[in-house]
């Protein structure tokens, strides 16, 4: 796209010459000295993108545009790892914080907003009668595992997808007691044959299984028929079905994956979009199950922090009246169709797959090969003012049709530039 034509207010300023990274690199040197892993999330580390050709530190954002510490603008599809559902600096986030800030941040006893936020969650989540708030997705999924073990009297669990960094999920990583290895079965759902394998494992180990904790894969769209079979198999063997909706909650549908797939979970775990970027998570389900949390040692000081709860109440009410589910799905669909059409025409292996609101960029089904091909693509897109993750990306309510069309056009430019050397060599 001719930079002179890029005058729409929702598009980033043109980046002239090489990407400027002086301030990012200076802060990166400080981070190497002071912060283990350079960032609070391993998904934000420079190696997850295109080191040396991608910004490392962002300064601020508005809507779907962000600006790095060197003053360059980008369309943001990372979206706070999916948490910034409304985009940056949205009034439904900013105004509740301003309104409640003078009331305090954390009080010594419960506050009314704990109840109004709870009601906002219950109004949207199918089958939910009670909810408990935490701070991170891993808090919620860990409480779900403990509750499931208590309800069923069984200890083994099956996890599908990434469910957090706590010991019973990361049982095969350094620092975790080896004794936990036998309690968790980690199973994929990346291919259709994986579905039969999961159902077979539940049937085989049902007498020992407390729960199947499932976060849907993002590289393919699961069917309602699979979820119907999964629900029936879990019920038949006395295994609880818990949906990890840290990412899919309020994104696939207002009622999350339960509504989208027509499945009834025993309870669900929520985070990210529940407060549009403020630190909050929750576990929600029937009173029959959730009431048993009172019998367990599940407690957190900051679950009652006022500002995040006030934002939760505001954004969930906003989701119900804004039509944003249809908005993000239609934009994501256009992104997928547009990029895939460019790729097919150019002969690139890149395809955008998965759910419309959660576009998954895929060059190759082999992870190392995909990463090898995706890194220069990320670099090329960043130089053109578009920030992408290596695989899963996120459409937010602030994205515009103009930004999607621009991204499609830039993706075409980058694919063509990456294919040019091999074409010239031929």
For residues 247 and 360, what is the distance between their CA atoms, to the nearest angstrom?
13
For tokens 């891993």, what's the residue? 138
Helix (H/G/I), strand (E/B), else coil: 152 = helix
Give the percent of the chain with pLDDT over 70. Answer: 97
How far CA 241 is from CA of 20, 202, 338, in Å, comes to 48, 11, 37
CB 393 within 8 A of CB 78: yes
CB 72 within 8 A of CB 381: no
Which one, of 383, 392, 399, 257, lies nearest residue 324 by Cα?
399
Most confident by average pLDDT, 9-13, 102-106, 141-145: 141-145
Strands 240-245 and 267-270: parallel
Instruction: Find the helix or strand (DSSP H, E) in which 158 lies.
Output: strand 156-160
Residue 424 has pLDDT above 80, yes or no: no
Residue 113 has pLDDT above 50, yes or no: yes
Report the C-alpha dihedral over residues 254, 259, 264, 268, rounded to 10 degrees: -30
For residues 320 and 130, what is the distance between their CA atoms, to the nearest angstrom?
20
Instruction: Retrieve residue 146's tokens.
Output: 């403990």
378-407 pLDDT tens trace? 999 999 999 999 999 999 999 999 999 999
CATH numbers and ranges of domains, the chain: 12-82+323-425 (3.90.1150.10), 91-322 (3.40.640.10)
Which one, of 342, 330, 349, 345, lies nearest residue 399 by Cα?
330
Mean pLDDT of the chain: 94
């Amino acid at each position: 796209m001719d930079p002179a034509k890029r005058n729409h207010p929702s598009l980033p300023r043109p980046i002239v010459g090489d990407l400027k990274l002086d301030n990012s690199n200076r802060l990166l040197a400080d981070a190497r000295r002071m912060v283990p892993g350079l960032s609070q999330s391993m998904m934000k580390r420079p190696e997850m993108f295109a080191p040396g050709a991608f910004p490392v530190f962002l300064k601020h954002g508005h809507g779907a545009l962000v600006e790095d510490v060197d003053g360059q603008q980008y369309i943001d599809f990372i979206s706070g790892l999916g948490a910034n559902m409304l985009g940056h600096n949205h009034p439904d986030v900013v105004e509740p914080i301003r309104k409640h800030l003078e009331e305090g941040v954390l009080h010594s006893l419960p506050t009314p907003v704990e109840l109004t936020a709870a009601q906002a969650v219950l109004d949207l989540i199918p089958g939910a009668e009670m909810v408990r708030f935490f701070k991170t997705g891993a808090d919620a999924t860990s409480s779900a595992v403990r509750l499931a073990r208590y309800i069923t009297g069984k200890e083994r669990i099956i996890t599908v997808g990434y469910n957090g960094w706590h010991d019973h999920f990361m049982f095969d990583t350094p620092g975790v007691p080896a004794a936990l290895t036998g309690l968790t079965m980690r199973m994929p759902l990346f291919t259709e044959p994986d579905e039969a394998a999961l159902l077979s494992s539940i049937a085989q180990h049902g007498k020992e299984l407390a729960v199947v904790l499932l976060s849907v894969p993002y590289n393919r769209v699961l069917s309602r028929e699979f979820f119907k079979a999964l629900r029936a198999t879990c019920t038949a063997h006395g295994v609880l079905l818990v949906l990890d909706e840290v990412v899919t909650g309020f994104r696939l549908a207002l009622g999350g994956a339960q509504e989208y797939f027509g499945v009834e979970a025993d309870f669900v775990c929520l985070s990210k979009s529940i407060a549009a970027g403020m630190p909050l998570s929750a576990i929600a389900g029937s009173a029959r199950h959730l009431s048993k949390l009172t019998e367990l040692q599940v407690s957190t000081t900051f679950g009652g922090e006022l500002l995040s709860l006030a934002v939760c109440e505001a954004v969930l009410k906003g989701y119900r009246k804004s039509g944003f589910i249809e908005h993000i799905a239609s934009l994501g669909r256009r992104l997928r169709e547009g990029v895939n059409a460019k790729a097919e025409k150019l002969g690139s292996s890149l395809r955008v797959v998965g759910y419309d609101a959660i576009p998954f960029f895929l060059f190759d089904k082999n992870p190392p090969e995909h990463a090898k091909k995706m890194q220069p693509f990320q670099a090329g897109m960043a130089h053109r003012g578009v920030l992408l993750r290596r695989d899963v990306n996120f459409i937010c309510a602030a994205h515009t049709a103009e930004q999607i069309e621009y991204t499609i056009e830039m993706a075409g430019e980058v694919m063509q530039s990456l294919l040019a050397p091999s074409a010239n060599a031929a």
